[in-house]
A and B are shown apart, each in its own frame.
Chain A
Amino acid sequence: SQELEQSPQSLIVQEGKNLTINCTSSKTLYGLYWYKQKYGEGLIFLMMLQKGGEEKSHEKITAKLDEKKQQSSLHITASQPSHAGIYLCGADQGANSKLTFGKGITLSVRP
């Protein structure tokens, strides 16, 4: 089965700083999903990437999928306290929209 490794495991940044987190797959990604989770709450969908080299942005968050479709990065520009939370990447297993998730990256933003 597909395994997703997320790095770093956790991250603390000063408000206003840029940051990048990564998601690496053991197999070719056919669909890569980024979600954000506040502790003790459900997951909020951020972005989905499907094509090699694809890049999507929403507000100050940009996600990229590499050409080989085995690694994705999420970049936050000028981080704010509202960006704090757990970021999870999920990979489409190719059938019935079953998603396999990484363990998540905990982001803290210091004001």
Chain B
Amino acid sequence: SQTIHQWPATLVQPVGSPLSLECTVEGTSNPNLYWYRQAAGRGLQLLFYSVGIGQISSEVPQNLSASRPQDRQFILSSKKLLLSDSGFYLCAWGGNNEKLFFGSGTQLSVL
């Protein structure tokens, strides 16, 4: 069966520090991968999605970037965190026109 792993569960980082969140999927090949952010009062916002290795689409301009170095690995990064980057980050995977399966999330606090 398919599983999705996301870590770390919580992270506290100072402003200006770098960020790397990792997400891996098991039990499926060539999944579509997604990074969402959930911030208070703003709902769930799609940040990036990827349909294959090295293929990244950005949905909103921001201080973050994403990479997909392997078929089942999706990484969210930042060179210098801002206070506004705080939020709950969720990784998800899915096929075309199918439901998404979500990871357990990372709570990021930028102080």
Contacts and interface: CB of A to CB of B under 8 A. Distances in A.
B57 to A, nearest CB: 8
Given A88-B44, A104-B44, A45 B99 contact: yes
B90 interface: yes
Chain A contact-residue range equals: 20 to 34
A43 B102 contact: yes
A107 to B, nearest CB: 16
Contacts of A97: 32, 94-100
A90 B94 CA distance: 14
A96 B51 contact: yes
A102 B96 contact: no
Interface in B86-111: 88, 90, 92, 94-105, 107
A111 interface: no
Contacts, number: 58
Chain B contact residues, majority secondary structure: strand
Contacts of A41: 104-105
A100 B46 contact: yes
A42 B102 contact: yes
A101 B42 CA distance: 10
B74 interface: no
B46 A98 contact: yes
A96 B88 contact: no
Identify the interface centre among B36, B43, B99, B107: most chain A CB within 10 Å of its CB.
Answer: B99
